[in-house]
Amino acid sequence: MYAERASRLAGAVVWTNTPAGPRPGRVLPDGCMDLLWQDGRLLVAGPDTRAHLTEASPAPWAGVRFPPGTAPALLGVPAVELRDRRVDLTDLWPAARARRLAALVNAAGDPAEGLERAALSRAAETAPPDPLLGRIAAALDAGRPVAATADELGIGARLLHRRSVAAFGYGPKTLARVLRLQRALALARAGTPLAETAARTGFADQAHLTRDVRELTGVTPGELLG
């Protein structure tokens, strides 16, 4: 069973998941990065360009999902280095430092609460995210073209690409595609017909939506929504 709630860390989400059966899970691209807990270990999930299939395991998970572009400053590593990866926190931080954080999380009665406290503590120690990154993500999530986004923010296309790769893990075109997928799925899950969903989220037609969903998630919209 999956559950989530808004975090006390602005824009973040705290979630828990206990798989209900033996089948692998499917984590869809969303432009975010997560700090994860499972069985006493801390891991980091990088930004995905395609669906990530989780192992068929009944072990519970907990996580803090950071808004697009915000995790690299907290973790001290460019997002592109973690693209399509799940890595142990000890691979990113000195082992002693990572173990201390894991001990704090494991000492909490609720791992999700412990993760949230750890994220809040880390955020208090680091400079706030560059507001430009939030403006980039918001413009692309609103369906603004990449070139128009660069012009409106007063930065060149090359700088936009460099900043996006470091902060989001991929260029602005890929980020826009991932965010469009999430907008489309939100509409479709709310009962909007696929043809209307495609038109409202910037796809050429329903066939274009179907192709994009299959490429990004590995399954058709019908399979995904079913």
| pLDDT tens sequence across 171-181 | 999 999 999 99
The average pLDDT across 179-189 equals: 97
Q: pLDDT tens digit string along 61-102?
A: 999 999 999 999 999 999 999 999 999 999 999 999 999 999
Residue 53 has pLDDT above 70, yes or no: yes
pLDDT at 22 over 80: no
Give this prediction's pTM.
0.93
Q: How far is CA 1 from the centre of its chain?
A: 19
Examine the pLDDT at 19 and tell me if it is beyond 80. no
| Mean pLDDT of the 30-44 span | 96
Of residues 208 and 109, more confidence is placed in 208
